[in-house]
Structure formats: structure tokens, C-alpha cells
Amino acid sequence: MNIKTAATSSHSVGRQLMLIDGRRVASSSGREIEVLDPATGEIIAAAPEASAADIDLAVAAASRAFRQGPWKDFTAAARARILWRAAELLEKNAEMLTRLEALNSGMLLSLAGNMVAYAAETLRYYAGYATKIEGKTVNLSGDQRNIHAYTLKSPIGVCGFIVPWNAPITLTCLKIAPALAAGCTCVVKPAEETPLTALKLAELLSEAGLPDGVVNVVTGYGDSAGAALARHGGVRKLAFTGSTEVGKLIVQAATDNLKKVTLELGGKSPTIVFDDADMDRAIPGAAAAIFTNSGQICFAGSRLYVQRGSFDRVVTSMAALAKAMKIGSPFHPTTQIGPLISAKQLERVTDLIASGLSDGAELIVGGRTVGDAGYFVEPTILANPAPGSRVVREEIFGPVLSAIPFDDVDEVMQMANDSEYGLAATVWTRDINKAHRTAQRFESGCVWINCAFVNDPAMPGGGYKQSGWGREGGKEGLDAYLETKKVFALLT
């Protein structure tokens, strides 16, 4: 690859190296991956194209660090101090990380800044949990009066993490923070499109005092490096965020050694707006739920159900908001819609829009690509799509909204839950009883009432149905990296 072509971009980053066992290394084959700026389509960096051999090296390094290195002797308080220091370093380097995240992913600069801040808060949250890992004593249910019984918690071992491209630094920290708090070691495989902040994060973790080999970052393609990590016999726990299709392949690969798996997969999240909603909040809230990060969010509210009496008002108002959104560079302060991640994703999104129109949906606004450079598509609203059409059933991962009217609660709940996904849902209503009853009926791992995209590291996140296995965040996120051992002691 001629990396000099990146010189045409004012944001050129240059060649990158992986981190294995504390050393910066190229891939064993010497091959590289072009890293693009999605706003321009230009090459901004080159990252090593790791193979299974490189995954072997990284897993071996993580295994040595877990079993032989100094990490196994670190106290919980020492682990906590490293995570806390890492959070401070993220905040100290927030401007650099924010710009790098925006450049690599196409995320708006303001949103990238929020993501870096959330990543730091996640590290700090699990720093607090490192010293609060505990077992319990148990009163046995049988007649063994002279047995003292208790449980112990221990780190699960080497963990593999496969991270997507839509929120790289946040989702990397959401995985490594509980693993490190528990005492595990890690191999991180960032998305091939967005490796830059994961590599920088590894540097900051080393600066925070993390020993060599505890966190290794290996860049490469999902079907080679990612697949090798998923099936590796030395990995005891795997966490993956991405599509449901790939998640199923991860599960199959994990059967080789029955490694534990956490999956946060696709979504087709419903947003319900009742006639009694506060429309001044609901309309911009529903727009934010689908157009933030150009719809490239797993829990984006891509299905909008509006009670019939308010349907025209809501759709018309949202269309006006969509039409007024400024599309362009993530670095421009007035930009509201940035690029999609790649030409491949642009093709998928436009194909799904075309399929919705061919199935009879009405195009209210948008639907077209924008500009000659980069991967931009207009914020799009399709009204009254056919219930079985692809735009209603499939995750689009773009700024495309399907708007559908409904008459009563039972009808809309049936439609909202009629999906293979169950990641998130939103309800807008002034009736607090209706709000909470609706929240109980959603078949999803997250529900927002009269708000959208609120999140916190203390809250567990995950999906129902084909939106995933397990939870990340909160105490549940820590438990995923701990084994439980029961101990019986005879008292004489």
C-alpha cells in the first residue's frame, strides 16, 4: 500500500502498529489494511492485517500475563488505581482522542467527545468495583452442622474482545474495564475500519501502569483475525458487539472450547408516540433516536409508531427537522448528519431505501446520497411501509425511519414486539401508568420513557431474543468475568 496517498488528507495519521506483550509490532505477514476517512474516502492510515498467527502471539502473551506475570499478584486496590489513572489519562487526552474518533468513524465531533467522556467514566466506575468482589458464606440446607461452606470469586482468565466501528473507544472500555477490575487479561480486535483509538487507548493503559501483556490490541479483518480469536482454545471468555449474523458465527466458533460468550447484537428498536405525549419533546426526541450518528447505533429507534390522531403532525414535523439538518464534515460545528462508515454501508442503506419504496412505502423526505466524496445519505423517512418489508424487519444502520400509525395500546405492542430483535424501545406519553405498563410489555433489554439514549455505566445493557446474550455494564457486567467456586470445610 502506498501510504503517501494519505497526504492528500489534512488529517493523515500514518502507519500504525499493533500492541502485543507490551511491544509495538507489525503483522507477521507484513500485510496492511487501509484506514479511511469516511467523510472523504481518503486513506488516513495503515494498520497491520493480523492473521491467526498474530492472534496466537497475542493470546500467548495474555496467558503469560495472567498465569506468570506480575498481574496475578496485583491486589484489587492496585487494579483499581490503574483503572482510575487510565480514566484520568483519557480525560487529559480527551481532545486528541475525540478528534481521532471523529476522523476514523465519521462521528460528529461533539458526539465523539461525549463518547470519550463516557469511556473514561466506565473505567472509573469499574475501578470502584475492583475492591468489591466478594463471595458469601452459606447456611447449608441439609443436616451437615459441622461444615463451613462459602464461595470464592476468581477471574475467568484470558478474554477476547471484538469491537464494532460505530462507537469504538466507548465499547472497548465497556469490555476491558470490568475484565481488568476482575483480574483478567485481554486481547482486543477492533473493527478493521476503526482501529485508531483502540491502539491509542493501549498506550494510555501502559502509561497508567498496566503490565505488559495484560491488554493486547490486534488489528485485522473479522473473517480472519476475528474468527481466529473467537475459536482460539486459549481464550476463556469472548465478548462481541456487532451484527446478529456474525454473532451466530461467533457462537459456533466458541464451541471448540466452550468459552463463555457475551453478545450485544442487532436492533430494530420501536419508538411509540401516544396522542397524549408532550410533542415538543417527543418529536425532536424521536428524531434524535434515529438520526444521531447517522443512525449507526444498535439501539437506534428505526421504527416509529404514532397514534393515528397525531400521525400526520409528528411525521410532518420530523420531516421538517430532517430536511433542515446540515450534512457534512464531522469537524464542522454546524454539521448534524455525518457520513456512513464505508462505501459498503452506503450501498446497503440505499438498497434498503429502494426496497422500501418498491414495497409501497411513501417517501416523506430524504432517500438520496449526497456529494461526490465520502459516504453520505440524507436523513430519510418512509411512511406506511408494508409490515413484512425489509425496512420494517431488517436492521438498516443508517438514518432511515419507518413511520407507522396505530390505534390502541394492544395493537401497537403487538407490532412493536413483532421482531426478531429486542435491544431497546421508547415510549412517549404523559400518562405515567401507561408508560410503566408499556415498559413492562416491551420485549427489549432497555426502555426509555419520555427520553432517548440516556445511559450510564451502572446500568446493565443487552438484548432479548436475537439481540444478544448476557449483559454489559453494572454489576452484571463484572460478573461476566468472574468464576464462582464453592468450598466445603469440615470443622473438627
Residues that are catalytic:
264, 298
CB 423 within 8 A of CB 444: yes
Q: Which of 258, 311, 304, 278 is CA-nearest to residue 400?
A: 304
Strand partners, 259: none
CB within 8 Å of 216: residues ≥ 6 apart: 18, 19, 20, 21, 58, 61, 62, 186, 187, 188, 202
User: Strand (E) positions, 140-246?
Assistant: 147-155, 158-162, 185-189, 215-217, 237-241
First-residue to last-residue Cα distance in the chain: 72
CB 184 within 8 A of CB 237: yes
Between β-strands 380-383 and 362-365, what pairing exists: parallel, antiparallel or unpaired?
antiparallel
User: To which residue does cell 397514534 refer?
Assistant: 307
What is the sign of the dihedral through the CA atoms of 321, 327, 330 and 333? negative
Torsion angle in degrees (nearest 10) through CA of 243, 249, 251, 254? -130
Q: Reduced to 3 states, what is the DSSP secondary structure of residue 74?
A: coil
CA–CA separation, 422 and 445 (whole Å): 6
Q: How many CB atoms lie within 10 A of CB 105?
A: 30
Q: How far is CA 125 from the centre of its chain?
A: 18
Where are the alpha helices (H) located in 146-226, listed in sequence order? 168-182, 196-207
CB within 8 Å of 408: residues ≥ 6 apart: none
What is the sign of the dihedral through the CA atoms of 474, 476, 482 and 488? positive
CA–CA separation, 51 and 226 (whole Å): 9
Half-sphere exposure of 413 (CA within 13 A, CB side): 12
Q: Is 293 left (phi over 0), alpha (psi -120 to 50) or beta?
A: left
CA–CA separation, 287 and 291 (whole Å): 6
Q: Which of 74, 65, 79 is CA-nearest to residue 123?
A: 79
**Angle, to 10 degrees, between the axis of helix 168-182 and the axis of helix 196-207?**
40
**Count, residues in the chain:** 492
Q: Which of 314, 381, 372 is CA-nearest to residue 339?
A: 372
CB 384 within 8 A of CB 404: yes
